[in-house]
Chain A
Amino acid sequence: MTAKLNIVAFVCENHALSALRAASASGESLPESFHLVKLPCTGRLETTQILDALRAGADGVAVIGCLEENCYHDVGSMLARGRVERVKEILKDIRIEPDRVEMFNIASVSSSILLLRMRKFEQKIGSLPATPFKGAMR
């Protein structure tokens, strides 16, 4: 059996989640490898939490938040972007592909774009070699 991908998606409860809900209402569904972790706002997310998710064995981490100019809590997705960039730098330093982490800014109405980008991200993660932390939790 081939190893399934496992992507942790930190989702903000406002625009991102309503985009996903709109997707499900129109009969679409999440890519199978995504596991949702709801947050009140992506501004809640810390760098350590992204790194912890990778250390726990996730193949990739997606941070899905509102558009930056239109963030529900105003500064949240701007803060999150900085943190995602920081994580990418750290990953580069410890020789792990920085592509494993990505930030998605999405409006609540563009659910199909979100799904498209999620599938693309899934494919990209699939093309990377297996993460060294795989099975660390077992």
Chain B
Amino acid sequence: MSGKILLILSRCSACSWLDKNSFKDLVSQIRLDKRIGKIIETDKICDSKGKKKLKSSASGGCDRAIIASWCSQESLGKIPLPKGIDPSLVEFVDLSLLSPKGPKERSSPELLAGAVRESAARLALSRPVKDRRIRYSSKFVAVIGSSDAAIRAARALAQHGIPTRLIISQKASKPKDGNIELIDEATINGLTGIPGNFRLSYRRRGEELETDCAAILLVGERCMADVRPPTNPRVRFVPLERLEDFATSGLRVKGIAFLDDLGSLASVSDVSVPLWHLLLESAKSTAVAGYAENVTVIARDVKAAGLLELSWKEAAEAGVKFVRYDDKTRPRIDKSEPIILVKDLVLGETIGIPADVVVAPVTTRPWEPAFVERLFVPGDWDLRVRSRGPQRGLGQSPCDGVFVVGYAGFAKLTDQSYPELGATVSEIVAFMRRGYHIARGAIAEIDEDKCSACNTCVRTCPYRAARMNDNWKAEIVAEKCAGCGSCVAVCPSRAIELKNCTREQIESQVIATQEAIS
């Protein structure tokens, strides 16, 4: 490894704002940097002629490259690199971002040269990394969920020619489609493996069984359809997160009722503690805001709320009324009047609570620990299995290959869930057609000699990629690591380094920014 850098400098006549002399200036200034071994100047890097020129030219003994151009990285696409350049050691410098004065005036060559040198300072210390492609060993998609949406998803996947295993908890009849394999009366025990090669263990009629699958789709078993729309048109249902919009609309309402979970059949632990906190806080602020005459919390579960005695008390002082109901007799909405009928557990009789707005809280059931382990984060954020929309595409979870739709992600209405389902099915199809999982090479590495087994990285990692091994040293699971570096910065004994974003590299780049100006 020579460690010298090849600079590919594109002077796109269409978008470069430098005239000939300034360009010469720029090149001569960059030449001062000893890290840069060779400079290739091209006129247009983005068209086929420029690419041909690049391919034919020699690397001049360099093994890494900086591509500096006025085009954006995306528009450049895949650039053919001269022989001997490692593809993992290529950095892009977007010069258009740095041209300070716009097209009419000249941008200063010093500044552009500075940016190239700063990036060179970092690149000179990089080590080559290799991404591994792991082919999927399974061809199945497991769809977990009992609702209509789950069956729809399985059908849609089968139509795309993807063999699907539909795992549901009730008893069901055999589906007509040959691509769907039904596993009914099953409950999920655990999930191991990596994307493409998951092993899903479940219990069926007293037997412990296991199945393989490449991807998993969790469909909101208890999606918003469960909290049935009220039969009375004079009563509005509002999800908890939308209550604020309702409050700012300036409407005055007769009563607001907070329901803990109308449709749920599940156990007492259904509503988690943080959620209860949220619910009590919202009830309190609604009572304080004073746009509703009656604010009532109708609750079945007091175990979790008992832990929040202070919030409970504060809410009661603000004027919130509390009604407890029995698990067997659930509250229902009166057919003509905007009233909720609840059988009060304390009084033992049915009472009517005036409410024209019903707030359904965002409940996500504490999913099987195996999924929580895989999908989401440590500590007090406990039970929220979140699908994170904008960054990773609809329905995708932080774990590649595990897809979450509907209420399993976060509470949404049915009319939001179905479009999401359609989008997610196409995501899964794309995932399956790709056929391999990329285990990234640019990951965190742990120096075992320095590790003091303090567990900090394990608690911090958003992907749960860090774990303790048998020798009581931390280790990073390469397949899960996304290379964010959160563990690097929190490690108190500085035992972790991120490949190609090491402390040394950041420091040298920071120093280069200071040199560039002097």
Residues in chain A within 8 A of chain B (CB atoms): 4, 6, 8, 14, 20-21, 23-25, 27, 29-32, 35-37, 39-41, 43-46, 49, 52-53, 56-58, 70, 72-76, 79, 83, 135, 137-138
**Total A-B pairs, Cβ < 8 A:** 118
> Among residues 489 to 507 in chain B, which have CB atoms less than 8 Å away from a CB atom of chain A?
489-490, 498, 501, 503, 506-507
Min CB gap A116→B, angstroms: 16
Which 10 pairs of residues, A with B, have the shortest CB-CB distance? A44-B485, A73-B484, A35-B513, A43-B486, A74-B462, A41-B484, A24-B97, A32-B100, A24-B96, A46-B489
Choose one: B99, B498, B503, B506; the contact of A29 (CB below 8 Å).
Answer: B99
Min CB gap A114→B, angstroms: 12
Determine if A29 and B102 form an interchain contact, defined as CB atoms under 8 angstroms apart: yes
Choose one: B72, B96, B102, B377; the contact of A75 (CB below 8 Å).
Answer: B377
Q: A21-B94, A73-B462, A83-B489 are in contact. Are A57 and B102 (CB under 8 A)?
A: no
Given contacts A8-B513, A58-B510, A58-B513, 10 further A-B contacts (CB under 8 A): A29-B98, A32-B111, A35-B516, A43-B485, A46-B488, A49-B503, A74-B398, A74-B462, A79-B460, A83-B489
Min CB gap A131→B, angstroms: 11
> Among residues 4 to 18 in chain B, which have CB atoms less than 8 Å away from a CB atom of chain A?
none
Choose one: A20, A44, A52, A135; the contact of B486 (CB below 8 Å).
Answer: A44
Q: A35-B118, A41-B486 are in contact. Are A25 and B72 (CB under 8 A)?
A: yes
Determine if B509 and A75 form an interchain contact, defined as CB atoms under 8 angstroms apart: no
Complex Cα distance A58/B510, Å?
A: 9
Complex Cα distance A44/B323, Å?
A: 48
Complex Cα distance A32/B513, Å?
A: 12
A53 / chain B contacts, CB cutoff of 8 Å? 510, 513
B97 / chain A contacts, CB cutoff of 8 Å? 20-21, 23-24, 29-30, 36
Complex Cα distance A25/B111, Å?
A: 19
Determine if B484 and A27 form an interchain contact, defined as CB atoms under 8 angstroms apart: no
B145 within 8 A of A: no
A138 / chain B contacts, CB cutoff of 8 Å? 518
Interface extent on B, as a size class? 35 or more
Complex Cα distance A79/B115, Å?
A: 28
Q: A29-B100, A35-B114, A135-B518 are in contact. Are A44 and B488 (CB under 8 A)?
A: yes
B249 / chain A contacts, CB cutoff of 8 Å? none
A44 / chain B contacts, CB cutoff of 8 Å? 484-486, 488-489, 498, 501
B482 within 8 A of A: yes
Complex Cα distance A73/B376, Å?
A: 12
Complex Cα distance A76/B483, Å?
A: 12
Choose one: B377, B391, B462, B511; the contact of A14 (CB below 8 Å).
Answer: B391
- Which residue of A is nearest B70, CB measured? A24
Determine if A30 and B485 form an interchain contact, defined as CB atoms under 8 angstroms apart: no
B482 / chain A contacts, CB cutoff of 8 Å? 73
Choose one: B388, B462, B490, B515; the contact of A137 (CB below 8 Å).
Answer: B515
Complex Cα distance A20/B95, Å?
A: 12
Complex Cα distance A39/B506, Å?
A: 9
Min CB gap A34→B, angstroms: 9
Complex Cα distance A45/B73, Å?
A: 24
B248 within 8 A of A: no
Complex Cα distance A137/B514, Å?
A: 7
Complex Cα distance A73/B480, Å?
A: 13
A79 / chain B contacts, CB cutoff of 8 Å? 460, 486, 489-490
Complex Cα distance A35/B507, Å?
A: 13
B310 within 8 A of A: no
Determine if B514 and A57 form an interchain contact, defined as CB atoms under 8 angstroms apart: yes
Q: A21-B72, A21-B94, A76-B484 are in contact. Are A52 and B490 (CB under 8 A)?
A: no
22 contacts between A and B (CB under 8 A): A8-B510, A21-B94, A23-B97, A24-B97, A29-B96, A31-B100, A37-B513, A40-B483, A40-B485, A41-B485, A44-B489, A44-B498, A46-B503, A49-B503, A53-B510, A56-B514, A58-B513, A70-B391, A75-B462, A75-B486, A83-B489, A137-B514
Among B391, B483, B510, which residue has the most Cβ atoms of chain A within 10 A?
Answer: B510
Min CB gap B467→A, angstroms: 17
Min CB gap A113→B, angstroms: 17
B266 within 8 A of A: no
B460 / chain A contacts, CB cutoff of 8 Å? 75, 79
- Which residue of A is nearest B386, CB measured? A74
Determine if A30 and B100 form an interchain contact, defined as CB atoms under 8 angstroms apart: yes
Determine if A52 and B510 form an interchain contact, defined as CB atoms under 8 angstroms apart: yes
Complex Cα distance A6/B72, Å?
A: 25
B77 within 8 A of A: no
Complex Cα distance A6/B462, Å?
A: 34
A135 / chain B contacts, CB cutoff of 8 Å? 518
B490 / chain A contacts, CB cutoff of 8 Å? 79
B1 within 8 A of A: no
A137 / chain B contacts, CB cutoff of 8 Å? 511, 514-515, 518
B390 within 8 A of A: yes
Complex Cα distance A45/B115, Å?
A: 20
Complex Cα distance A32/B102, Å?
A: 12
Choose one: A23, A37, A76; the contact of B510 (CB below 8 Å).
Answer: A37
> Among residues 406 to 462 in chain B, which have CB atoms less than 8 Å away from a CB atom of chain A?
460, 462
Determine if B484 and A24 form an interchain contact, defined as CB atoms under 8 angstroms apart: no
Complex Cα distance A114/B81, Å?
A: 34
B518 / chain A contacts, CB cutoff of 8 Å? 135, 137-138
Encode contact with A along B89-127: 1 for CB under 8 Å, 0 otherwise: 000001011111111000000010011001000000000
Among B94, B97, B482, B489, which residue has the most Cβ atoms of chain A within 10 A?
Answer: B489
Complex Cα distance A6/B513, Å?
A: 8
Determine if A30 and B98 form an interchain contact, defined as CB atoms under 8 angstroms apart: yes
